[in-house]
Amino acid sequence: MNFIPIKGPEIFSKYLGETEATLRRLFAMARQIAPCILFFDEMDSIGAKRGWGGDDGAGTNGVNERVLSTLLNEMDGVEERTGVFVIGCTNQPRAIDDALLRPGRLDQLVYVGYPSLVDREEIIAAIGERIPLPKDQESRRLLAKKTAGFSPADLDSLFREAAILALRKCIDADTVAMDDIEMVIQKMSISVQDRIDKRTLAERDDSESDVLVPNQYKEFQQER
């Protein structure tokens, strides 16, 4: 199975019609090397609802609507795209245009939540292979408990920043101390909690949506 990753915002061009042409070329390439997965990261950037304002109220424009139309046309070419599978990823499911979610398009919705306690332990262990974190299981378990609500990217950022902090204290440091890690956790926890609160509020607004999972943050509240 071939795999083509696409970062949604990166396909946009300042030249008229070039973005739509890029989309068509991507689907043509996928058909040529089928079976193939076309993976669109930040799907909301190319598949937003017409008139969607998002968090910044910017809304869609003529370019976005033409790109969405091109995407829908390519996804409707069922006969031509045999063996081509389209997967979209977004952290703004409310933004996705309803037309994209119709049968035959992106009709299978899968919620991927934040890492559980066990997931975070495994992520911390993986990060520990390239950053000298405390190796004992008890310390890593404690770090996993203290990082409820952190995404994989948050965890990566946390330990990189803690490593820099440790090196500033001692250039010869061979392990990132728990004190340094906990200092960064304290700093990051405010923004992480703010993000959780905002998404919980958005979830309440969309309580009948099939895209969002109700009460997805119960675990975080229990862990805290």
Please report the pLDDT score of residue 144 as a whole number: 95
pTM to 2 decimal places: 0.66
Beta bridge partner(s), residue 85: 37
> Who's near 180: CB < 8 A, 6+ residues apart?
162, 165, 166, 169
Side chain identity, residue 34: A
Q: Which of 109, 106, 9 lies closest to 67, judged by CA?
A: 9
- The closest alpha carbon to 4, from 111, 83, 120, belongs to 83
Give the sheet arrangement for strand 2-7, strand by strand.
2-7, 36-41, 84-88
Q: Where in the chain is the domain with CATH 3.40.50.300?
A: 2-101
Question: Got the DSSP string for 134-178?
Answer: --SHHHHHHHHHHTTT--HHHHHHHHHHHHHHHHHH-TT--S--H
Contacts of 213 (CB under 8 A, 6+ apart): 111, 113
**Start-end ranges of CATH 1.10.8.60 in the chain?**
117-223
The pLDDT, as a whole number, for residue 198 is: 63
Q: What is the number of other CB atoms lying within 10 angstroms of the CB of residue 45?
A: 20
The domain 2-101 is classified under which CATH number: 2.60.40.10, 3.40.47.10, 3.10.105.10, 3.40.50.300?
3.40.50.300
Distance, in Å, from the CA atom of 65 to the CA atom of 43, rounded to the nearest integer, reads: 14
For the chain, the straight-line distance linking the first and the last C-alpha, in angstroms and rounded, comes to 42
- How many Å separate Cα 14 from the centre of its chain? 25
pLDDT of the chain, 224 residues: tens digit per residue: 999 999 999 999 989 899 999 999 999 999 999 999 999 999 999 998 877 655 444 445 678 889 999 999 999 875 566 789 999 999 888 889 999 999 889 988 898 888 999 999 999 999 999 999 998 999 999 999 999 989 999 999 999 999 999 999 888 888 999 999 999 999 998 888 777 666 655 555 554 444 444 344 444 445 54
Domain boundaries 117-223, CATH class: mainly alpha
Confidence (pLDDT) at 24: 94
Q: How many residues does the chain have?
A: 224
**Quick one: tokens of 188?**
């990051």
Cα–Cα dist 6/153, whole Å: 19
